[in-house]
Amino acid sequence: MKLPKSFHQSRKLVDMVENQTSYELEDSAMHIFETHLRADRVQLQFGAPVLASMFQGKKVMHLRDKAAFEFLPGESLILPANELMGIDFPEAREDNPTRCLALEIGEDRLKHVIQLMNETMTRTDGQEWNLLDYNFHFTNDYSIYQILQRLVYLYTENHPSKDFFVSNMVQELIIRILQANVRKTYQTQTVDLSGGKRLAYIIQYIRDNLRDVLTIKALSEKACMSESHFHKVFKQEMGVSPIDFINEERINFATKLLSNDSCNLTEVFMACGFSNRSYFNRLFKRFKGISPSSYRKRFVS
């Protein structure tokens, strides 16, 4: 993500560790933090549920009941109100600061969006949408990345309708994060769930057959749904279309293959179900931000 010029023009650099620039609205607030010096176990806490997302650099997070983990650009973390964080900044320098944002969202706002989802977006598994498991650490998908980038611009913009614009974007962000949480549950528990839940069965089938041609017609038949209903249900619950999900799974599989130099790039994209090298390259860059060849150079010595 990029910080707009309006941020650099308005912010005051007072502290070298976790210098904070805040933008507050009625039921949400955005804080942008910059750290210019290496530091360990810096403590931070918010009075409302918060989404933290990395811009630049690396943090090591220490949270209650969770092993320490690296927090990197392109990743986000959901934290409950009053969660005390301990943060290390192993790479922060004056010429290369660590930067992240923290978006506080009021609990009443969260409950309102969840109620709306339960009234209009019924889940296929019979479960209700609920506040997600906190300390949910995930990689931003393309839609969440775009929303966060837009929110940074809106918060820093001086516009008379800012509250209205931000409110709409925050609502979409909440919905997409809850869908991402459900998607992660399906992805990590498909073997346990596949016997009793149609979407979980389909997801497991996709992951087992990435090399093959996967069509909406065939998947909808396996789910015992019409094509239109299958597409609607899948996107409503997973937050992405079936085709986008298949492509995401294929690219994730490609990253595993690229970490091993025993496969050349042609073997990689064919093993992931792609028949066109240029299409594979475009999708890989869209999901991962770099080309497959650059990814391999970065992660394989």
Compute the radius of gyration of the chain from its Cα atoms: 21
pLDDT for 240: 85
Other CB atoms within 10 A of residue 140 CB: 21
Residue 33's CATH number: 2.60.120.280
Closest CA to 144 of 203, 88, 184: 184
Closest CA to 145 of 234, 242, 75, 70: 75
CA distances from 129 to 133, 196, 236 (A): 12, 19, 12
Q: Out of 2-11, 54-63, 288-297, which region has the weakest mean confidence (pLDDT)?
A: 2-11
What integer best gives the mean pLDDT of the chain? Answer: 87
If asked whether residues 170 and 215 sit together in one domain, one would say no
If asked whether residues 180 and 216 sit together in one domain, one would say no
Residue 264's CATH number: 1.10.10.60
How far is C-alpha 255 from the chain's CA centre? 17
Total domain count, the chain = 2
If asked whether residues 69 and 199 sit together in one domain, one would say no
Q: How confident is the model at residue 82 (pLDDT cuts 50, 70, 90)?
A: very high
| Total number of residues shown for the chain | 301
Quote the CA–CA distance of 173 and 148 in Å, as a whole number. Answer: 8
pLDDT for 83: 92
Determine the structural domain holding residue 217 and report its residue range. 194-299
If asked whether residues 135 and 276 sit together in one domain, one would say no
- To which residue do tokens 């210098």 refer? 19
- The DSSP output letter for 125 is T
For 137-174, how does the pLDDT look when each residue is reduced to its tens digit (9 = 90+)?
888 888 888 999 999 999 998 888 999 999 999 999 99
If asked whether residues 223 and 179 sit together in one domain, one would say no
Choose one of 186, 209, 234: the last residue of a domain. Answer: 186
If asked whether residues 97 and 70 sit together in one domain, one would say yes
For 26-39, how does the pLDDT look when each residue is reduced to its tens digit (9 = 90+)?
889 999 999 999 99
- To which residue do tokens 């507050």 refer? 24
Residues in CB range of 160: below 8 A, 6 or more apart: none
**In this model, does residue 187 exceed pLDDT 70?**
no
Q: Out of 125-134, 176-185, 241-250, which region has the weakest mean confidence (pLDDT)?
A: 125-134
If asked whether residues 164 and 16 sit together in one domain, one would say yes
For 236-281, how does the pLDDT look when each residue is reduced to its tens digit (9 = 90+)?
888 889 999 999 889 989 988 888 777 888 899 899 999 889 999 9
If asked whether residues 25 and 169 sit together in one domain, one would say yes
pLDDT for 195: 44
Choose one of 133, 157, 186: the last residue of a domain. Answer: 186
If asked whether residues 128 and 209 sit together in one domain, one would say no
Q: How confident is the model at residue 301 (pLDDT cuts 50, 70, 90)?
A: low
Quote the CA–CA distance of 165 and 143 in Å, as a whole number. Answer: 17
Report field, pTM of the whole predicted structure over 0.75: no
Quote the CA–CA distance of 2 and 6 in Å, as a whole number. Answer: 12
For 208-238, how does the pLDDT look when each residue is reduced to its tens digit (9 = 90+)?
999 999 999 999 988 888 899 888 888 888 8
Residues in CB range of 218: below 8 A, 6 or more apart: none
If asked whether residues 179 and 200 sit together in one domain, one would say no
pLDDT for 201: 82
If asked whether residues 165 and 216 sit together in one domain, one would say no
Choose one of 186, 205, 220: the last residue of a domain. Answer: 186
Assess contact for 235 and 182: CB atoms under 8 A: no
Assess contact for 85 and 62: CB atoms under 8 A: yes
If asked whether residues 182 and 205 sit together in one domain, one would say no
pLDDT for 133: 64
